[in-house]
Amino acid sequence: MFQLTIMANPNQEIIYKKLFINNEFVDAQSGKTFVTLNPQTGKPLAEVAEADKADVDLAVKAAKKAFERGSAWRDMDASQRGRLINKLADLIEQHKSALANLEVLDNGKPFAEADFDIQCAIDTFRYYAGWCDKIHGNTIPADGGSLAITSKEPIGVVGQIIPWNYPTLMVSWKWAPALAAGCTIVLKPAEQTPLSALYAAALTKQAGFPSGVINVVPGFGETAGHALVIHPDVRKVAFTGSTEIGRLIAENAAKSNLKKVSLELGGKSPLVVMQDVDLDEAVEIAHNAVFANHGQCCCAGTRTFVQETIYDAFVAKSVELTRKRKVGNPFADDTLQGPQIDAESQQKILKYIELGNKQGAKLECGGNKWGNEGFFVEPTIFSNVTDNMTIAQEEIFGPVQSVIKFKTLDEVIERANKTSYGLAAGILTKNIDWALTFARAVEAGSVWINCYDAVTPQTPFGGYKQSGHGRELGEDGLEPYTETKTILVKLPTKN
């Protein structure tokens, strides 16, 4: 079988640094650029064209034109849309090394994780490619003897604003369902990680998407992002990021043209470890639930609830495992943890660690910045954490595990739900009654039993409470990109 060789290359050439509008790479109208950093060194990596309102206006205009009646995209068979999305997935696969290298340089995640993310992006495109010609409505026995049918229509021009923690994966989560539904897109990548979205944009042109269907406008949130959110021709905004900005976007979208909004926001997800587990296995699952992607994961299982009978042993083994976690150069084969995304994020994490210490949690390992350059933080564990401590309530978005003691299942369900968030939850146990009781009672969009972070293209993902609105992935993930139209035909009374 043909095997692609994936090659780590810290000297990956950065080709695409301009805005992508109407299938062309162009400078910003203002001529402005901004610098994206390499978080491993803290030094500039590339200068990228900086979009603001004027460029967003052009991108939306292109997307609107691509969506007009009679356009190539609107007239395209749904099955052909599917072929284009599959072609894009094939091209991403062929360019996997380049994309993974850009991801490591721009974001700092270890190469193996970047490689995995890009595979997940490919899988997501292929999953939604299959949906294109299977999105359909119903025939309904309406009152009055009429014939009623519904169709699912694309919502129109969509604005998509994504964060920096999974740059290429977030592109796929946003583009794939929107394209499957037949929408046209203006995407703003995070200012910290614009490079892989621009590379992916180049591949959409190569795949044969008509001009204007996909546009990418790197820039800042308050300028380019805001312009997209309030644009009168944008029918919907999809956002992943902080709860604070999610709230602001919902407000601004409502104030402008009441555009629809889907939000995938933060979390403070509980992972419950019952006393009947295999301890080594549980320690490892809980460890990865927190430390994957350096803790920069919206669904990270940051509140590790451990039943009191195994608590001390669990903490001891977790510390042993975490001390071994290799931090350093993300291009090195054995590195499990690279730098955090930027200095601000590093400082925020160190502040939370300081608060943990001040409020009486016990620092078991880590607790400091790591190395002399870049934005690294040591993998950190706190034990004796109580529910009211700030580190047990707020999203740290860094490599910090809080191990919390509990006695009974009922008690832990109540405590797990005592948060404004509700993105994900997990339970580790061999007892099916305990597992399913927890799964039914916990207020979270995803519940994982005897695993964690099991996100697949086929299964919906999104939050309860302040973790967001709407779902991504799976069939549910199409919903935010479609409108339901009812067509009712009056039939002659005699038949």
Rg, the chain, Cα only? 23
Residue found under tokens 């805001």: 226
Stretch that binds ligand NAI, among 217-225, 331-339, 365-373, 424-432 (CB under 6 A): 217-225
**Which residues in 77-106 contact ligand NAI (CB under 6 A)?**
none
Sheet strand arrangement including 184-188: 24-26, 19-21, 214-216, 184-188, 157-161, 236-240, 260-264, 468-469
Q: How crowded is the C-beta side of 255, counted as CA atoms within 13 Å?
A: 10
User: Is 212 a residue that touches ligand NAI (CB under 6 A)?
Assistant: no
Q: How far is the CB of 164 from ligand NAI (least distance, A)?
A: 6
403: nearest Cα among 274, 315, 495: 315
Out of ligand NAI, Mg ion, none, what residue 106 binds, judged by CB under 5 to 8 A for its kind, is Mg ion
Phi, psi of 4 (to 5 degrees): -80, 140
Stretch that binds Mg ion, among 104-112, 354-362, 367-375, 485-493 (CB under 5 A): 104-112
177: nearest Cα among 454, 453, 470: 470
User: Is 167 a residue that touches ligand NAI (CB under 6 A)?
Assistant: no
Name every residue whose Cβ is closer than 8 Å to that of residue 134 and which is 6 or more positions away in sequence. Answer: none
Catalytic residue among 132, 183, 297, 298: 298
Out of ligand NAI, Mg ion, none, what residue 241 binds, judged by CB under 5 to 8 A for its kind, is ligand NAI
Phi, psi of 6 (to 5 degrees): -100, 125
How many other β-carbons are positioned within 10 Å of the β-carbon of residue 275? 15
User: Is 364 a residue that touches Mg ion (CB under 5 A)?
Assistant: no
Query: Would residue 364 show up in a list of annotated catalytic residues for this protein?
Result: no
Out of Mg ion, ligand NAI, none, what residue 482 binds, judged by CB under 5 to 8 A for its kind, is none
User: Is 106 a residue that touches Mg ion (CB under 5 A)?
Assistant: yes
Residue found under tokens 């889907």: 262
One character per residue 9-48, x = contact with Mg ion (rule: CB under 5 A): ---------------------------xx-----------
**Which residues in 174-213 contact Mg ion (CB under 5 A)?**
192
From 36, 302, 345, 402, residue interacting with ligand NAI (rule: CB under 6 A): 345
Q: Report how many residues bind ligand NAI under the rule CB under 6 A.
A: 27
Nearer to ligand NAI, 277 or 378 (CB): 378
Query: Would residue 264 show up in a list of annotated catalytic residues for this protein?
Result: yes
Residue of this chain nearest to ligand NAI (CB atom): 221
272: nearest Cα among 100, 445, 437, 38: 437
User: Helix, strand or coil for residue 214?
Assistant: strand
Q: How far is the CB of 335 from Mg ion (least distance, A)?
A: 18
Q: Is 29 exposed, middle or buried (0-12, 13-18, 19+ CB in 10 A)?
A: middle
- What is the C-alpha to C-alpha distance for residues 195 and 191, in angstroms, rounded to an integer? 10
Out of Mg ion, ligand NAI, none, what residue 84 binds, judged by CB under 5 to 8 A for its kind, is none
Stretch that binds ligand NAI, among 94-102, 107-115, 159-167, 329-337 (CB under 6 A): 159-167
What residues form DSSP beta bridges with 402?
Answer: 303, 382
DSSP type of residue 307: E
Which residues of this chain interact with Mg ion, rule CB under 5 A? 36-37, 106, 192
By annotation, the residues acting in catalysis are 264, 298
Which residues of this chain interact with ligand NAI, rule CB under 6 A? 161-165, 188, 190-191, 220-222, 225-226, 229, 240-242, 245, 248-249, 264-266, 298, 345, 395, 397
